Amino acid sequence: MFASTGVTAGISTVSSERANVYSMVPVSQPDSLPTRVASWTPGRGLVLPSSCHLFPDKFSKFPERPHLVVTAEQLAGNVAVMVDDPTAPGGQRLTFRGYMDNTIRFIAKQMNFTFTYERPADRTWGNRQNDGSWSGMAGLLMRGETEIGLGPFAMTQIRFKYMQFSQYITHIEHKVTAILGRPEVDPWGFLLPLSPLVWAAVVTALLAVITFMLILPSCLPPEGLYCGADMGSVAVGGSRWWWERVVVGVWMLSTLVMTKSYAGNLMSLLAVRHIDQSYQSLRNVLDDSSVVLILTAGNSNLAYYRDQLDAFLHGIT
């Protein structure tokens, strides 16, 4: 994609009863005058010259074939080369070979303009500095030293405030990658088949059953008990203990189902070794002091990551 600048036009009122509409074509010659595209009078109304349009498409084709300066920088697939040119200073002219050079040449042919390349002194795409100035290709464009910045430029929020972008021509995703851990057996693997909430529910149910079986006998009527005089023992009538059998039976059935489910899940988990993945979120990356981030100076990635990290650290989502 490329960024560029442009010019518009307006209406001039000649008198209270007559008005003229003028249009200034972008990147026209400095000494050129605005073109009158319409006039209005009370008697004739709006009059359009046969060779002009009231709202011409100023950016489809330049009628005067202007010469523009394009700033560009080399990257993979777009290499800077010097070619012999007797008309250029020093006998050599800067040009590029690659897909971005093909793109700007196609645009120049369609829009009727010529161009020459100019590389920034710091060989960067450019970012806004702390003092408000711009570096790299963006700086040449902001200062008006070039008319087009040949990218591909990353569309960042700060650049949108100062630059006009074309439609995007490529899509790139940025990801943080890390090496995978070695396959290993987790010593706490026996906890994996059941979640902490399920373990808490099992323990709670066990305590509830024990408490129920200890408290409920005290609620039985005393007629259910009898004493053996010869043995000095106490017995409970069998008809009074049906509820205890039901509780024990339900608990044993639940324990059997949970045991079989736990054993099957545990066997499946232990059959595959665990591979540790340390970075599950941006917070994991920030908390790891051993992480070293290497970025190219003067491009959009550095400013973008810096802004995103500052926003993340300050709790801005």
What CATH number is associated with residue 113? 3.40.190.10
pLDDT in tens, 84-116: 888 888 888 999 999 899 999 999 998 889 999
79 with 137, same domain: the answer is: yes
205 with 245, same domain: the answer is: yes
Count of domains in the chain? 3
Whether 172 maps to a domain, the answer reads no
Band (pLDDT 50/70/90 cuts) for residue 58 is low
Query: Against a cut of 0.75, is the pTM above it?
Result: no
226 with 195, same domain: the answer is: yes
72 with 160, same domain: the answer is: yes
Helices 242-271 & 196-215, crossing angle to 10 degrees?
160
pLDDT in tens, 158-169: 788 888 888 887
Q: How far apart are CA 301 and CA 307, in angstroms?
A: 10
Expressed as residue numbers, the domain containing 144 is 67-165
The answer for residues whose C-beta is within 8 angstroms of residue 310's C-beta and 6 or more apart is none
43's tokens: 């008697």
Band (pLDDT 50/70/90 cuts) for residue 228 is very low
DSSP letters for 185-207: --TTGGGTTS-HHHHHHHHHHHH
Torsion of CA 206, 212, 213, 216, to 10 degrees: 180
Whether 279 maps to a domain, the answer reads no
Q: How far apart are CA 267 and CA 235, in angstroms?
A: 46
Count the neighbouring beta carbons within 10 Å of the beta carbon of residue 237: 11
42's tokens: 């009370």
Domain final position from 274, 290, 307: 274
What pLDDT, on the 0 to 100 scale, is given for residue 55?
A: 66
